[in-house]
């Protein structure tokens, strides 16, 4: 699988909680945990994302400056 | 005048809505052959629509970043090829109705819009009257495969009706 690498800065408390999850075996490693969290975020925010796109389209349609 | 790179969604949806003319003021509409084939498969009559400045253009090689995002967001071949073409035209609009493709396009810094924006823009550009566009929007779900939640579409219609009445 192709992968994209990036660096993220986590608040210390959040990082500690994430490490505990990994140590307790809820996730294989920190990378897997973050990928899973991102996936879940995408799933749960899909409706909001779609609404944002529609709002942006309405605004552009009405008042765009191109 | 603007240029745009097209994914299949807006062409299919505008064709379903008999509103392809709203693309009429774009200078060039770049479209990868694979997207064109997808559009013609869904809307064969579009092949004979010669009033629009389509330019079929092969996508460049997909770079690693785009390939990764394509995998992460489960983009189809047409979406990936459109995004690859867009890389060569950074000032062009990227037109898609696919949420995942739109997210990736944003990540790459492209200006992205979809069918809904194009329809509303048609009034601002003088291609269609507000009455015509409101009629299209009221029948959007009946006449096209573009999915917008009914209550959200009603809110959009109310908002633009109000805007157009006050202008």
What ipTM was reported for this prediction? Answer: 0.92
Q: What is the pLDDT of residues B5-63, one digit of tens each?
A: 999 999 999 999 999 999 999 999 999 999 999 999 988 888 887 788 999 999 998 88
Contact present, B69 and B84 (Cβ < 8 Å): no
Contact residues on chain B for A4, CB-CB shorter than 8 A: 64-65, 68-69, 72
Q: What confidence category does residue B84 fall into, taking pLDDT thresholds of 50, 70 and 90?
A: very high
| Residue owning tokens 């996936």 | A39
**B1 Cβ under 8 Å from any chain A Cβ:** no
- Helix, strand, coil percentages, rounded to 5, for chain B: 55, 10, 30
| DSSP codes joined into one string, B6-63 | E-HHHHHHHHHTT-GGGGTT-SEEEE-HHHHHHHHHH-GGGGG--SS-EEE----PPP
CB contact under 8 A, B160 and A50: no
**B47 Cβ under 8 Å from any chain A Cβ:** no
Give the one of A2, A50, A62 whose C-beta lies nearest to B71's C-beta: A2
Name the fold adopted by B2-115: Rossmann fold (3.40.50)
Domains in chain B: boundaries:
2-115
Domains in chain A: boundaries:
17-63
- Please give the residue of chain B at the shortest CA–CA distance from A55: B156
Q: What is the pLDDT of residues A12-58, one digit of tens each?
A: 888 998 998 899 888 899 999 888 888 877 776 778 888 999 999 99
CB contact under 8 A, B156 and A64: no
**C-alpha count within 13 angstroms, C-beta hemisphere, residue B46:** 25
**B156 Cβ under 8 Å from any chain A Cβ:** yes
């Amino acid at each position: 699988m192709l992968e994209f690498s990036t660096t993220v800065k986590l608040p210390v408390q959040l990082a500690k909680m994430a490490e505990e999850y990994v140590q307790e075996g809820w996730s294989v490693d920190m990378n897997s945990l973050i990928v899973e969290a991102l996936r879940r975020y995408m799933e749960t925010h899909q409706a909001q994302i779609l609404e944002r796109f529609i709002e942006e389209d309405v605004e552009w349609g009405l008042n765009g400056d191109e | 005048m603007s240029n745009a790179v097209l994914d299949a969604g807006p062409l299919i949806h505008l064709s379903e809505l008999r509103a392809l003319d709203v693309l009429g003021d774009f200078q060039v509409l770049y479209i990868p052959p694979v997207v064109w084939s997808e559009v013609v498969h869904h809307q064969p009559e579009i092949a004979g629509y010669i009033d629009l400045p389509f330019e079929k253009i092969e996508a460049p090689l997909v770079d690693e970043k785009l390939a990764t995002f394509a995998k992460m967001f489960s983009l189809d071949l047409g979406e990936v090829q459109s995004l690859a073409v867009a890389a060569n035209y950074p000032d062009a609009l990227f037109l898609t109705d696919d949420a995942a493709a739109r997210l990736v396009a944003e990540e790459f810094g492209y200006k992205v819009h979809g069918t809904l924006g194009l329809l509303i823009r048609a009034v601002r550009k003088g291609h269609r009257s507000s009455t015509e566009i409101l009629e299209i929007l009221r029948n959007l779900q009946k006449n096209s495969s573009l999915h917008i939640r009914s209550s959200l579409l009603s809110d959009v219609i109310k908002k633009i009706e109000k805007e157009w009445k006050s202008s």
